[in-house]
Amino acid sequence: MRLPFVGVLLILLLSVTFGIGHSSYELATKQILDRAKDRMRHVWSLNRRIFVQLTAKGKSPLGGQVLNSKLEVEAETYRLFYDLAGNLSVVSVAELDDPLLRRRVQRMAKLQLQGLRPKDYEQAKDLLRQIHNFVNGPLVCPYEDCSARGSLAMYPQIMNKNMHTKLYEDLVINWKAWRRAINEKDVAKNTFIGYVRLLRIAATYNGHVTPSRTWYLNYDTENFQAEMEAVVWEIMPLYRELHAYLRREVQAAYPKADTKSDGAISAPIMDQILSQDWYPHQFFRTPHQGRQHQLPSVHRRLEEVLVTPVKINRKAAEFFESLGLMVMPNIFYDRFSRRMNDEEGGAECKSQVYYFPPDVALRYCPKLDYKKMMQIHGTMAELQYHLYKMQLPFGLDTEPCPGFGAAIAETVILASGTPRHLHRLHILLNDSLTEEQSLNRLFRMGVHTLIAVPQYFINDKFLVDVMDGRIGVKDYNCAYWGLQDKFAGVQPPLQRLNKDFDVDFKFYRGLNPETSNTKKFLAEILGFQFYRSFCLASGQYKPGDPNFPLHNCDFYDSKEAGKKIRDMMQLGATRHWRDVMEIATGERKLSGRGILEYFAPLFTWLKERNKQLDIEPGWDADELCRRD
């Protein structure tokens, strides 16, 4: 267990034992938190230093100064929260009258990995670095000869190769080669086992008999996994129709995969489908063929109208200003908005936000394209959230649960990518697409969203079921494929054994609580719930009116939608996330309703098309994982 500082422990024990009043007890508790905030100010100053170092002219972004500062931030943040949780763990919440003080204590007395003792925490970090290397390290020789080209990383190199290939043999070779490389002598499996052991230890420090309660810590929900599963089943009829349509496309494109008409889809092909969501030369057909039905290219107009990433940033900020949220002052653009170097962005080129109250800062991607335009709207949502949360007490100046802020960002990403908003920006000539183009766009969006959501859930459920002991070490692999069969209609490309360990690279990415599959699942589902609510409030979505469908809703300039966003952002973590989401949606549970209404035209088309082709939705996977 974590041990509190002796001086603080004595103060609190004496307060209770000798009947010192609530005010003195609360004062002692506030002093603990005040000292912690003083230490947090040092972390914020380090973040400011990192931003300055990265943006100073003539400095290498990969220099040692920056690396040392980042390591210092990580170490100091760990020590701060570890010490603080130890102190707050002895505070009797019942003795506190101030509801915000009670909330601060409850949230900060329990931790995930940062609750581990220093030695265990260092081991957890080492394991996470190794897990990161499984995905991003050059470990793979697909054809067992790296002398000429060198080894490849799963991301982005092998993923890009898989996206472009038209040969099923290549997909299977790459699928096997990566798993063979990372799991030679059971390295990947043993790394995972060691990491789960540490997650279980962290749970014991929180007094959690069931380890997943610590994994789902700030969701404050009994059996949160069951709520997520209910959403998966809610959207499953739509998923099954899309799966059935894609399965027929797979049969036509990859006859060597031997996909049965009522069977599951091979895992490497499903991975390729997801990677080709917006790829212009995908192997699967969109609903309407012909050049006149394809989506209009916006890249040239984007360059002509918005010219530079700086102008895109200002347009993204303007979106929030139109809603009645904070105006980004000129000093922000002059001092706290900086362009990344061209070599820094990498494959994803994601903009970075820095938080050091009373300021926030942005380092933005230099690329100028449609995807980056939408993403910077999401990044601006994060900046706005920081500006509102920093007014709150330390410990509550954060999102109410992991993924909540990303869900708000998702709504603005959806709105900014609509034809209606692109027309507002003078990028498209019309504020809507033809019916055929609109369906093709929805289909692409469906591949992007509907294929991913069950995978987030499967990866989360597998981890949690292992953590809680429902899946034993000897059953890992077949249990994983059982989940892929049940929730996604996916099967391995060849016979596998329980001694293998076939989880995909997105599973490894989600082992870090900061990038967990739980967080991604909630952001996607709640994002569509929020989007539906904002669109109804703005009058830009009118159910049943074909002129105002949800998938073309742009709530720009809606003060009603803006009030919902501002009210949620201002609350930070002062209230339970269900209380905060209720402000926007009137609901207190996750729901697939937003997704189903967004994709309703696609759902109708898929059902009709599959019926015309005599395609039966659903699947019966082959038994390709043999228990040892």
Annotated binding site: 219
204 residue type, one letter: T
Q: Which two tokens stand for residue 466?
A: 């292992």
- Smallest Cα–Cα separation from 341: which of 570, 60, 21? 60
Cβ-defined contacts of 532-538 (< 8 Å, 24+): 532/585, 532/593, 532/594, 532/597, 532/598, 533/564, 533/584, 533/585, 533/586, 534/411, 534/415, 534/558, 534/561, 534/564, 534/565, 534/584, 535/561, 537/561, 537/564
Cβ burial, residue 21 (10 Å; 0-12/13-18/19+): exposed
Give the Cα separation of 573 and 218 in Å (integer): 10
What distance, in Å, lies between the first and last C-alpha atoms of the chain?
39
Q: 352-356 and 625-626 as β-strands: parallel, antiparallel, unpaired?
A: unpaired
- Smallest Cα–Cα separation from 310: which of 343, 334, 342? 334
529 residue type, one letter: Q
**In DSSP terms, which residues pair with 354 in a beta bridge?**
361
Dihedral over Cα of 412, 418, 423, 425: its sign: positive
Neighbours of 46 (CB within 10 A): 18
Give the Cα separation of 494 and 500 in Å (integer): 12
Give the Cα separation of 2 and 134 in Å (integer): 32
- Smallest Cα–Cα separation from 316: which of 363, 384, 366? 384
Q: Which two tokens stand for residue 414?
A: 């959806």
The answer to whether 373 touches 418, Cβ cutoff 8 Å, is: no
Which residues make up each annotated binding site for chloride? 219
The answer to whether 553 touches 431, Cβ cutoff 8 Å, is: no
- Smallest Cα–Cα separation from 373: which of 318, 333, 434, 328? 318
Give the Cα separation of 398 and 388 in Å (integer): 10
The answer to whether 46 touches 113, Cβ cutoff 8 Å, is: no
Cβ burial, residue 438 (10 Å; 0-12/13-18/19+): buried
Residue 364 per-residue DSSP state: E
